[in-house]
Structure 1
């Protein structure tokens, strides 16, 4: 384990070292039905078995015509056509006789012979609906959804490694698939340490703290596609910590501990890692919050030791554990979405460590034309969980930049 005198890894060095081990932790694939696809990661490419839409149809309520037959229509010289029939969604009119028009609903099949849709707002319809008058002409092919415009037969529409959200699941259904192959959900064991911790429903003494970290980690694991296994609070005893850690590694695909990973006298997981011969990969990162972060492998099982301070635990999960879980599930892009925004105000960083500040995106003035800015929150202490509840981004302040001025571009990582 790292001693206090050893050089800390930079954030980028630590992340690279940790993620380099993820390739050997790819989870097996399994079948899942449509109802169980939300938040899963595809383990196969999906191709379209046919064109979607399967035939030309209408994007508007209106009238289907041959463009050439209304090409000369003007307000002064309108064109009147008899109505041949109706083509509603699910009730098609198969063909359009020459010299006639057909009412067509949105999604209705384009009758054979028709090539253009005129919006219903742009025509005059006789009271008996048997004739329709055209006083203007749209471009040829207007409002026609061409066959295969959405998906063409044989095209790959979703790829292995894609995250399945509501829209991707809609694509799966439109392909006629009732189920697909996805990666198994990672089982993640949570161990929280501290003699000062009590359950959320308990009334704490002045020296005690309600355990919020487990709730935050469990929700974060679910949001990352995993299944949390809450193994409870481990008291500050290295033997108990080692026994709990050994059980966690047997039950889960990945273990997350919270607290007990600094170099203090009562940090039980540091001793437990040594007792169980956890191979250390990272212990200590030049970042704020999150300096005590630990990562190692217990018989090939990834183990993250997160700091006990609430904001530190939550931030290090987002920066390290979340992308690791994404890679275990085969995600193409495991990182938090990043964007570059100008700073709303100047910030200082005297620590020489990368500082990840909780912040929000504020709209520019005026809102219609102004540039959005990254606004750091005022309170950044590592124990302040409430500041995370009000933040939507993490603003990265590099350790080699003691001061960033208002307006300077900064990298922001989206939390939501």
Structure 2
């Protein structure tokens, strides 16, 4: 393909279908938070396996309470008490009740629990019920939570705290998950200096490397900073060779713009890379490059911090989720709200524009204030609470128009 043949964002996403997924590993349940499940979890049993009380109260036969009221209570004989963690050894007959704590197992003959607030003690071993209950009120019946054979967690799910809880419930001490994708990060540019250095005029500190490491960790990957490369093609080729050997994905910051200083494209060409994309209809971030070497995806990202960040969020992170086994890996943003744009937003047709915004509540509506800035400015992205997307076919937005804001 020719370099700098601009592709739509949606066309770039389609290329991810062919990306190779990382391997799998078994880990202890306590280490599984945030990892991606490599197989579906199916319930091996009904849960709960026995009828459980959801309240402190008295287990009884619900039909025996019909007609009870404050003015006409119904008496019950208390014949026992359920102990937590033990199955009751007695059976309830007509007009009999047993105290049961929250989570306790109902004795045979009971099909409901009356809350302690709705009973009145008469004497030792006898209570009065002050209201009727329906059958199975305040009770979780066997299999009410989930049934044997039911799909609990799907393959490709990023595990949440509650997911670990359900795995523990069914006795899974270990889980098979996808390995954390190893993501190599290379910075390029003669103007870049380490974060601890005092930049001279014409130099800037290496902010992109740290930002990219944060994004990779956010998505469950394992970042590996492979150092800073000067604007020398031979140095970059050596770094890329090392990265491809060590990593499942490579991110190169800087050196992706069209022209004589397009180091990443030239280095990849000499490595025999399959260049899939060089130029995306997105702003900021048009000079983005996507290639593969030995099935390892390589991203050439813009050097300007805002461009680098937005391209990473829109394009790189979904591809990272894909190789990490996560499903679905799209859309790129998981949280959004509807808002009204606070002022006119100009845009050029034929590209997706991502505008940083701050949000303001006015009555029942949320308004989005655009932060117009250059692609080299990072502070507006830090200050911004969301990104407003101007669609490909639009030539801007009108003040007061309802828009979707992707939350940062």
Cα separation, 1, equivalents of 2:110 and 2:72: 22
Cα separation, 2, equivalents of 1:143 and 1:380: 58
Structure 1 residues 164 and 67 mapped into 2: Cα distance closer, same or farther (>3 Å)? Answer: same
Structure 1 residues 389 and 93 mapped into 2: Cα distance closer, same or farther (>3 Å)? Answer: farther
Partner of 1:348: 345
Q: Does 1:53 align with 2:48?
A: yes
CA RMSD of aligned residues (A): 2.2
Q: 2:217 aligns with which of 211, 218, 222?
A: 222
The alignment covers a number of residue pairs equal to: 404
Cα separation, 2, equivalents of 1:42 and 1:96: 45
Asked if the contact 2:338–2:402 (Cα under 8 Å) also holds between the matched residues in 1, the reply is: yes
Alpha-carbon displacement from aligned partner over 1:213-258 (angstroms, at most 9, x marks no partner): 1111111111212111110111111111111111111110111111
Q: Please state how far the C-alpha of 1:339 moved relative to its aligned partner.
A: 4.5
Partner of 2:247: 252
Asked if the contact 1:281–1:297 (Cα under 8 Å) also holds between the matched residues in 2, the reply is: yes
Q: 1:275 aligns with which of 241, 249, 270?
A: 270
Q: Does 1:13 align with 2:11?
A: yes
| TM-score (normalised: structure 2) | 0.92
Q: 2:67 aligns with which of 45, 63, 72?
A: 72
Structure 2, gaps ≥5 residues long = none
Cα separation, 2, equivalents of 1:40 and 1:374: 36
Asked if the contact 1:349–1:401 (Cα under 8 Å) also holds between the matched residues in 2, the reply is: no
- State the secondary structure of the residue aligned to 2:281: strand
Asked if the contact 1:377–1:387 (Cα under 8 Å) also holds between the matched residues in 2, the reply is: no
Structure 1 residues 261 and 52 mapped into 2: Cα distance closer, same or farther (>3 Å)? Answer: same
Name whichever of 334-343 and 152-161 sits farther off: 334-343
Q: Please state how far the C-alpha of 1:405 moved relative to its aligned partner.
A: 2.5
Cα separation, 2, equivalents of 1:225 and 1:307: 23
- State the secondary structure of the residue aligned to 2:128: strand
Name whichever of 30-39 and 245-254 sits farther off: 30-39
Q: Please state how far the C-alpha of 1:408 moved relative to its aligned partner.
A: 3.2
Structure 1, gaps ≥5 residues long = none
Cα separation, 2, equivalents of 1:59 and 1:129: 25
Cα separation, 2, equivalents of 1:296 and 1:404: 34
Partner of 1:28: 23
Structure 1 residues 149 and 406 mapped into 2: Cα distance closer, same or farther (>3 Å)? Answer: farther
Cα separation, 1, equivalents of 2:86 and 2:341: 57
Q: 2:105 aligns with which of 84, 106, 109?
A: 109
Q: Please state how far the C-alpha of 1:47 moved relative to its aligned partner.
A: 1.4
- State the secondary structure of the residue aligned to 1:315: helix
Cα separation, 1, equivalents of 2:345 and 2:120: 68
Partner of 2:118: 122
Cα separation, 1, equivalents of 2:341 and 2:72: 60
Q: Please state how far the C-alpha of 1:31 moved relative to its aligned partner.
A: 1.6
Partner of 1:405: 398
Q: 2:192 aligns with which of 173, 180, 197?
A: 197
Q: Does 1:183 align with 2:178?
A: yes
